[in-house]
Homo-oligomer: A and B are copies of this chain.
Amino acid sequence: MNNTRFATSVHILTLLALKPEEWLSSEFIAGSININPVIVRKEIIFLSGAGLIQTKKGKDGGAKLNRPASLIYLSEILEIVHYSDMLGRKNLNTNPQCFIGSQINERLDSLFKRTDLLIKESLGKQSLADFLNQF
């Protein structure tokens, strides 16, 4: 993947972790990341769907953490933003009549999956609180 979704989600959650009692608005969060509030709201929907945060509509609404930052792991964030195939994309349409072309995507798949798992295991040891404590 080559987008900013992981960085954006981590940023959102770090802000929420810093003020666990407050409802932070998408406008405020967007101002910290310096991106459009709609992008933040869309990302927040995923985080909320995964149970990491809760949101409140209407005046003085916003988002806040649903559990302590010490119980939120970076691996969860990675899963929420659908990161996989960290080593890139495969060439679809490889030649089915070629010995290599016909099988390479299965082999790459296996390699990619093992690599993704390695990263997830590593991020599974790092909590949002750990991350925030580095500031």
Q: Assembly of this chain: how many copies?
A: 2
A28-45 residues with Cβ-Cβ distance < 8 A to B are 31-35
State which of B89, B115, B122 has its C-beta within 8 Å of the C-beta of A7: B89
Residues of A within 8 A of B (CB): 1-8, 10-11, 14-15, 18, 31-35, 74, 78, 81, 83, 86-91, 93-95, 98-101, 103-104, 107-108, 110-111, 114-115, 118-119, 122-123, 126, 131, 134-135
List of 8 A-B pairs having minimum Cβ-Cβ separation, nearest first:
A2-B2, A32-B101, A32-B98, A34-B93, A6-B88, A86-B86, A4-B89, A7-B90
Contact status of A88 and B95, CB under 8 A, knowing A104-B14, A107-B131, A122-B115? no
